[in-house]
Amino acid sequence: MIRVPDTASAIAAGVRDGRLSAQGIALDTLDRIARHDGLNAVTRLLGQRALADAARVDAAVAVGRDPGPLAGVPFAVKDLFDVAGETTSAGARQRAGAPAAGQDAEVVARLCAAGAVLVATTNMDEFAYGFSTENAHHGTTRNPHDPERLAGGSSGGSAALVGAGLVPLALGSDTNGSIRVPASLCGLFGLRPTFGAVSVAGVYPFVERLDTVGCFARSPQDLAIAHAVMLGQALTPAAGGRPRVAVLGGWFAGRAAAGVLAGIDRIAAHLEAGPPVVLRSAAAARSAGFLLTGAEGGHRHLSALRRDAMAFDPVTRDRLIAGALQPVAAVRDAERIARRFVDEVADALVDHDLLLAPATPMSAPRIDATTIVVDGQTLSARADLGLHTQPLSLAGVPILSAPLRQPDGTMPIGVQLIAGPGRETLLFETAASLVAAGLVACSPAPVRAEAA
């Protein structure tokens, strides 16, 4: 058994200079994931492919060729990314008979070309419609910090694997918060990139006007490296000078646990934030996101629902049918609110470089909880996990969920760092500075200690 470093950058450095073997890391990773199947994070281990890819990386190192910036780094992908030779399930049993993908999704291919080694596909809410990774076909993914609690969703399998320290990188998709919510609940860094910046080719769609793909990692540096590879270009440093920062008030301050608001206040003080900014249409934008998602999701799956509605996960089926049945007026009005909210966010980002908001209103709910009282209000322990992520998705801006530093034994919770389109580098640099200041930290999960 080898000691695999915690971060992608440390693994790649070891493989590139020959101290570590990519094949050894792949074998160890596959073995540890198999031993921790209680998390229920994985839908498929890709052992044969992983070992073959790792052998190619080692061979490149042996002959002095550049193996790439992610040499030998094991990673996993949510089971909606095409993987050559495998059926993309999108978390749905009814897709079991679909043809296997002919090639990898573009971002998967880019990561592999950079030397990363794909080891597994991961559990998700069926068709990415949910915030909890409770799947009627594959079961519920457990939070690595407490297996009695949700990992969040819909990219929960990917987040749980990274949170447990079983892989340093994993891919998810974020339509309404499906990277940011599980990143918050599992205590990770997770990026929803600028809408349209990273290719979604070969990724099973949910709501095309909102779909993005991004990465989970245990450090902002790893997130930046993976983002650059997925983007296909080197990142340029953010413009100098102190960023102009504000906390989002109103909707984003009124429905959140005291701990997350206190953590955001500490970050705001450190970054010398100005007065809070209120986005007047935030509540309506959250509702608009709900309506638009239901409508597009419902119509996407309408023909399959006509054929065999009972093949769906019951929870997804009922959401999709209700979504498809919405009146046109509801969709039209939701579009008007979405446009108004996009303008409000754009205006706020004229005077500010960075906005701060909770990533989730609460830390991970217990799996058996249906509601949670936060700030004196009873919230759904499922749908309301996206209270603070869902409206911001409409704006198409890049958002990094960073884990607040917490006392030992406290369940993790994250903060959203929000910047203007194309300003991901500012997010990575800010997150790294917050780590250095001790305000943000990826805390080890108990299961991670066992995994080591």
The catalytic residue positions are 78, 154, 178
| Binding window for other proteins (CB under 8 A); candidates: 207-215, 309-317, 405-413, 419-427 | 309-317
Q: x/- binding map, residues 373-392, to other proteins, per CB under 8 A?
A: ----------x---------
Under the binding rule (CB under 8 A), the answer on residue 291 touching other proteins is: yes
Burial class (CB in 10 A: 0-12, 13-18, 19+), 41: buried
Least distance between other proteins and beta carbon 163 (Å): 30
From 6, 28, 86, 333, residue interacting with other proteins (rule: CB under 8 A): 333
141/156 Cα distance (integer angstroms): 7
Residue closer to other proteins (CB basis): 336 or 366? 336
294/297 Cα distance (integer angstroms): 5
Q: Compute how many residues bind other proteins; rule: CB under 8 A.
A: 32
Under the binding rule (CB under 8 A), the answer on residue 324 touching other proteins is: yes
Non-local (6+) Cβ contacts of 383 within 8 A are 131
Under the binding rule (CB under 8 A), the answer on residue 130 touching other proteins is: no
Residue closer to other proteins (CB basis): 3 or 307? 307
From 191, 213, 305, 427, residue interacting with other proteins (rule: CB under 8 A): 305
Under the binding rule (CB under 8 A), the answer on residue 304 touching other proteins is: no
Under the binding rule (CB under 8 A), the answer on residue 317 touching other proteins is: yes
From 55, 197, 268, 330, residue interacting with other proteins (rule: CB under 8 A): 330
From 310, 328, 350, 373, residue interacting with other proteins (rule: CB under 8 A): 310
Under the binding rule (CB under 8 A), the answer on residue 283 touching other proteins is: yes
Under the binding rule (CB under 8 A), the answer on residue 281 touching other proteins is: yes
Residue closer to other proteins (CB basis): 104 or 313? 313
CB of 293 closer than 8 Å to CB of 210: yes
Question: Which residues, numbered 25-44, are part of the site for other proteins (CB under 8 A)?
Answer: none
223 phi and psi angles, rounded to 5 deg: -60, -40
Under the binding rule (CB under 8 A), the answer on residue 337 touching other proteins is: yes
Residue closer to other proteins (CB basis): 84 or 324? 324
Footprint of other proteins (CB under 8 A): 281, 283-284, 286-288, 290-291, 294, 302, 305-306, 309-310, 314-315, 317-319, 321-326, 330, 333-334, 336-337, 340, 383
